[in-house]
Structure 1
Amino acid sequence: MVDRPVPYSSATNSHPQEITQRIREIPSMAIAFLSGLLMALTLAPAGFWVLGWVALAPLWALLRRTPRRIWAVIPLCAAWGVGYNGLAISWIVDLHPLTWMGLTNSVSLGVTAFAWTAIVFWGVVRVTCWGLLVALLWGWHATGTESLGCILNRWLGAIALWCALEVLWSYTPLDWTTLAITQSPHDLWILHLGQLSGPTAVSACLVAINGLVAEAWLHPQAGVRKPLVNLGLGILLVSHLVGLALFLQPVPQAPESELKIGIIQGNIPTRVKLFEDGVQRSFDAYIDGYEALVDQGADAVLTPEGSFPWAWVDTPKRQQNAFYQTIVSRGIPAWVGSFGLEDGHYRQTLFTISGDGEVYSRYNKVKLVPLGEYIPFESLLGEVIQRLSTLADSMRPGSLHQVVDSPVGRAIAAICYDSAFPQIFRNQAATGGEFILTASNNDPYGSAMMNQHHAQDVMRAIETSRYTLRATNTGFSGVVTPHGRTLWKSGFRTYEAHLATIYKQQTRTLYVQWGNWLTPFLLGVALIGWLRVKR
């Protein structure tokens, strides 16, 4: 029998072709990953904020060189997202060890690894959705015959979609690493664009410049590159000039609006304060700090989140609380971080207690920390997740629309993780909030997380044009002006009792009045451009 040659089939050759293609993708994915790492270096502890204007450009350029297959963008976007989010929130590893809560070392590692992976994954999903949507609507694939108009049409669509996804993510349980935070607290001029339309105005400028850098690099011909470069320089200049004009606006400081507010940083680790010795340390630290600040002339005193981490205000035990007794004795109001108890459920609460002992108002934390304060999808996955969680029961979140009145004026309140969600602050500013109070724990995290948290509050101060008072357990407490200047910042894991002078503000920024109007505007313009191309 004569052997016949096997007919050539693309299937027989597809395997080596796929291997070759995957090998070629490795350098591109490595570049995308390194690009994400560069973007993460803009945040604390590195703080190389200038990189924010160019660190997205390599990913953009790589996406423009992908094949026409839509799914080809996924590995590149995922690599960038892992690099950016993975390094930016690497401080989450400070959760370990949780052995003081009775967990074994391996379970503690599991909790920490699960938390880090979940946050990084959610950040990766956002940037991947962006890449896919741009590919679906405009197509990333570069062609040599593209006109300047086609390039700018895709560019505008990519900006609009990035902003839209940042807004969408701000209504999810996990959000921290918007592009805007890469500039905080350093580039105060550009951060003032937040007064116009919130943090997405800053993000829009960053995406715009990165996109133009990538497009100019991809199109060396003078007829295309020169207009792109000029447009980029123009946006960079005009955005900073607008920010400077807002930055130079005077802040009203009428004598009748002056407040002297005391801030106490207790510096009592959570692993200590939950036990008997820690309880007494808490009373000593906050009573001593309160009395010292009252002696200095404080109109009110602010304590951190969970200063007394048990339910006592909403119970008959309130009268027996030594700190409460001190408030009544001295007659000066205080904002006290503790656990609220409503409808049989615990809440993370900042109580406003007046000088006569009345619970004047309360603010319940809106954005609870998954696994730390509540069990996600409790009805479906409660038993499974609880094995990796330290919770015995889930807390309940507060309403997005809360009003926090006090004997010294209406406050804009937030607790810890709330600082990453600008709409919480805007809503309270729109209803008459005159100054910002943020109460946080920040233990057991290190200085990187604390600096990033401070950066979040700097943006919220600028967006609402309000003085901001930050009380944390272990650092960094601080005082921030409506223009984002830090007047005072506490030490790292130190005990502090600081008296700050601020001024109540009643002005309304464009962002407070109109909200995030820029994103729907950009989406509308991008849609018009898309429809014109599709005709």
Structure 2
Amino acid sequence: MPDTTARPARKAGTVPSGSDTDAPARRGRGRRFAALVRREAPRTAIAVLGGLVLALAFPPYDLWPLSLVGVAALGLLTRGRTARQGAWTGFAFGLPFFFLLLKWLHVVGWDAVFGLALVQALYVALLGAGLARTSRLKYGPVWAACLWVTEEWARDRVPFGGFPWGRLAFANTGSPFTPLAALGGAPLVTFAVALSGSLLAAAAVVLWRLRGKGRPVRAALPAVEAVGLAAAVSVSGLLVPVHTGADDRVDIAIVQGNVQKPGMDFLGRPMKILDNHATATEKLAADVKAGKAKKPDLVIWPENASDLDPFRYPQAYDRIEAAVKSIGVPVLVGALVDHPDKPGYVFNQGIVWDPVKGPGASYTKQHPVPFGEYVPFREQLSKVITRFQRVPRDFYPGDRTGVLAVGPARLGDVICFEVAYDEIVHDTVNAGARALVVQTNNATYGRTGQPEQQLAMSKLRAVEHGRAVVTAATSGISAVVAPDGTVTHKIPEFTQGVLRASLPLRDEKTVADRVGAVPEWALAIVGLLSCVAAAVVGRRGRSKDEKGQQ
């Protein structure tokens, strides 16, 4: 039967959509896209290489001068580009950078490495767009350095409380830039590194323009000035006094009990990790009793040293109690404790365990790791990603700083990844901590480079706050960092041992302690305003061109 459905009349000269006459237009768009890809391919390839170079500035490689090279490379690649082109270049730079930096996540899955790197690279894409827009402004290196701080400011906070890994400051925890942390914290170190790298990029642009033109030497003066300024900024940190004198000292012992094996299943059978730490403590007690070792003033155990809730399982409580009584001094015990009112939730705590009074004051981790210690949108995501079922309970965040009286010392407890967050460490010191303790459990990421990256953060915090930092790890790296950022004691990974040290206690506050987040906010806002200024200047330029053509 013929189709009698009414059809709208077609105007004369029109062609139905999808007809063969659309083919030339499609081929034209395809050729333009292919040409664009070919034109951008060299720049994209260099951006990828630049991101990999920047990753090598971080532990475990520790080639900090490459942080300047990475900054300069991104600045050169985005210079004079449109915001869209800059964003693509920033993304091409950021994705390989974070992939190499975060490859320790491969123990969870390479898809996890790629996924987290992808999210972080989006921030670098925005940075690239900002660098492109502001590259035409006068004093461009200053605005570029501010934009690096702006990018880190945003990435450190959003989403889910942020992820600060990969800050330029964390690649410079043993460089001439490091002492600047005592003035303005990690953001000021990032600013100085980015400014030096951007000045080097500006010098390279001048020299490139002069190539083969036989211009007089004085034409290269701007490049010389830029390099000189970069050098001055690079060594400016050496002029910052780093105070390390101790008001008094305390003798400590750090117990690294070790685990059965690295990876996701490091826990092994229940009570094993707790028994490792209790046994090592009892051995220390035996050495003290035999006169082979001096009795410490306090003992520090790492995060998750008790793999069972001691308040729920009597065998765990008794094992801790026996070890503490054997040494006869307070022990800071890391343990997972069930939430008393919310089934399915758990506290990640540091508990002061006294040989006479038993468990006392405690600190609960304030910033649990999303998708590692709790699963956002658990009900929905667990149906799609079954791997999240390996996180059976969500960690419940604490609501106060971790200043604890452990024997004769007032210590600031910071648990694991919290050392990466400026605000948590800053508040802990300002609340009265005379030294910092980072209780951590890196057994999942053993021999991947992650423990070295976290220890580097402790080195920066030591200088920033003028405090000794103790890192106590279940499987390593346990260490003591002096207030000047020097690692004075260390136990290697996957080694059971007890580290003895005389820990300096300090009350004096640094400038960074007093100013807090003010430098970061100020630099980040200037970075944003520079983008606004670039947009206004660009609009005015287009308006003048349009008037001139009329």
TM-score by length of 2: 0.82
Partner of 2:395: 395
Q: Distance in 1 between matches of 2:433 and 2:360?
A: 15
Partner of 1:33: 48
Give the direction of change, closer, same or farther, for the CA distance of 1:487–1:330 in structure 2 (3 Å limit): closer
Partner of 1:211: 198
Is 1:226 matched up with 2:221? yes
Q: CA deviation at 1:114?
A: 3.4
Is 1:503 matched up with 2:504? yes
Q: CA deviation at 1:134?
A: 4.1
Gaps of 5+ in 2: 1-20, 211-216, 541-550
Contact 1:272/1:278 (CA < 8 Å) preserved in 2? no
Is 1:236 matched up with 2:231? yes
Pairs within 5 Å for 1:471-490: 471-490=472-491
Partner of 1:288: 283
Partner of 1:266: 257
Q: Distance in 2 between matches of 1:334 and 1:60?
A: 50
Partner of 1:107: none
Q: Distance in 1 between matches of 2:62 and 2:251?
A: 32
Contact 1:273/1:281 (CA < 8 Å) preserved in 2? no
Partner of 1:98: none
Q: Distance in 2 between matches of 1:446 and 1:274?
A: 15
297-306 vs 56-65, which deviates more?
A: 56-65
RMSD over aligned Cα atoms: 2.8
Secondary structure of the structure 2 residue equivalent to 1:230: helix
Pairs within 5 Å for 1:73-92: 73-92=86-105
Contact 1:341/1:347 (CA < 8 Å) preserved in 2? yes
Secondary structure of the structure 1 residue equivalent to 2:356: coil
Give the direction of change, closer, same or farther, for the CA distance of 1:524–1:372 in structure 2 (3 Å limit): closer
**Which of 1 and 2 has greater Rg?**
2
Give the direction of change, closer, same or farther, for the CA distance of 1:129–1:384 in structure 2 (3 Å limit): same
269-278 vs 31-40, which deviates more?
A: 269-278
Is 1:63 matched up with 2:84? no
Partner of 1:129: 126
| 1:331 alignment partner, one of 328, 332, 335 | 328
426-435 vs 73-82, which deviates more?
A: 73-82
Secondary structure of the structure 1 residue equivalent to 2:282: helix
TM-score by length of 1: 0.84
Give the direction of change, closer, same or farther, for the CA distance of 1:183–1:84 in structure 2 (3 Å limit): same
Aligned residue identity for 2:62: G
Contact 2:178/2:237 (CA < 8 Å) preserved in 1? no
Is 1:120 matched up with 2:117? yes
Contact 1:122/1:174 (CA < 8 Å) preserved in 2? no
Aligned residue identity for 2:478: S
74-83 vs 277-286, which deviates more?
A: 277-286
Q: Distance in 1 between matches of 2:434 and 2:510?
A: 13
Give the direction of change, closer, same or farther, for the CA distance of 1:258–1:402 in structure 2 (3 Å limit): closer
Secondary structure of the structure 2 residue equivalent to 1:338: strand
Q: Distance in 2 between matches of 1:72 and 1:238?
A: 30
Partner of 1:190: 177
Aligned residue identity for 1:449: Q
Partner of 1:430: 430
Contact 1:411/1:433 (CA < 8 Å) preserved in 2? yes
Q: CA deviation at 1:472?
A: 0.9
Q: Distance in 1 between matches of 2:125 and 2:94?
A: 8
Contact 1:264/1:289 (CA < 8 Å) preserved in 2? no
Partner of 1:300: 298
Secondary structure of the structure 1 residue equivalent to 2:255: strand
Partner of 2:462: 461
Give the direction of change, closer, same or farther, for the CA distance of 1:181–1:242 in structure 2 (3 Å limit): closer
Is 1:21 matched up with 2:15? no
Q: Distance in 2 between matches of 1:464 and 1:122?
A: 31
Secondary structure of the structure 2 residue equivalent to 1:306: coil
Q: CA deviation at 1:7?
A: 12
Aligned residue identity for 2:103: S
Partner of 2:548: none
Q: Distance in 2 between matches of 1:384 and 1:10?
A: 41
Aligned residue identity for 2:147: L
50-59 vs 465-474, which deviates more?
A: 50-59
| 2:69 alignment partner, one of 40, 54, 65 | 54
| 1:177 alignment partner, one of 153, 166, 187 | 166
Give the direction of change, closer, same or farther, for the CA distance of 1:223–1:36 in structure 2 (3 Å limit): farther
Give the direction of change, closer, same or farther, for the CA distance of 1:309–1:528 in structure 2 (3 Å limit): closer
Q: Distance in 2 between matches of 1:423 and 1:379?
A: 31
Contact 1:43/1:88 (CA < 8 Å) preserved in 2? yes
Give the direction of change, closer, same or farther, for the CA distance of 1:281–1:259 in structure 2 (3 Å limit): closer
Contact 1:375/1:386 (CA < 8 Å) preserved in 2? no
Aligned residue identity for 2:178: L
Q: Distance in 2 between matches of 1:509 and 1:224?
A: 43
Q: CA deviation at 1:238?
A: 4.4
Q: Distance in 2 between matches of 1:352 and 1:7?
A: 76
Q: Distance in 2 between matches of 1:380 and 1:517?
A: 39
Secondary structure of the structure 1 residue equivalent to 2:145: helix
Partner of 2:5: none
Spell out, residue by residue over 1:507-526, the C-alpha distance to the aligned partner (whole angstroms, 9 max, x if none): 11111111132233335656
Aligned residue identity for 1:180: A
Partner of 2:57: 42
Contact 2:87/2:127 (CA < 8 Å) preserved in 1? no
Q: Distance in 2 between matches of 1:34 and 1:381?
A: 34
Q: Distance in 1 between matches of 2:383 and 2:179?
A: 46
Q: Distance in 1 between matches of 2:459 and 2:73?
A: 29
Contact 2:411/2:436 (CA < 8 Å) preserved in 1? yes
Spell out, residue by residue over 1:246-268, the C-alpha distance to the aligned partner (whole angstroms, 9 max, x if none): 23x4x2234xx210010111112
Q: Percent identity?
A: 23
Secondary structure of the structure 1 residue equivalent to 2:404: coil
Spell out, residue by residue over 1:36-92, the C-alpha distance to the aligned partner (whole angstroms, 9 max, x if none): 1111111223221111112221221111143x3x32223211111112111112122
Partner of 1:366: 366
Pairs within 5 Å for 1:240-251: 240-247=235-242, 249=243, 251=244
Secondary structure of the structure 2 residue equivalent to 1:405: strand
Give the direction of change, closer, same or farther, for the CA distance of 1:131–1:351 in structure 2 (3 Å limit): same
371-380 vs 506-515, which deviates more?
A: 371-380
Aligned residue identity for 2:435: F
Q: CA deviation at 1:423?
A: 1.8
Give the direction of change, closer, same or farther, for the CA distance of 1:157–1:400 in structure 2 (3 Å limit): farther
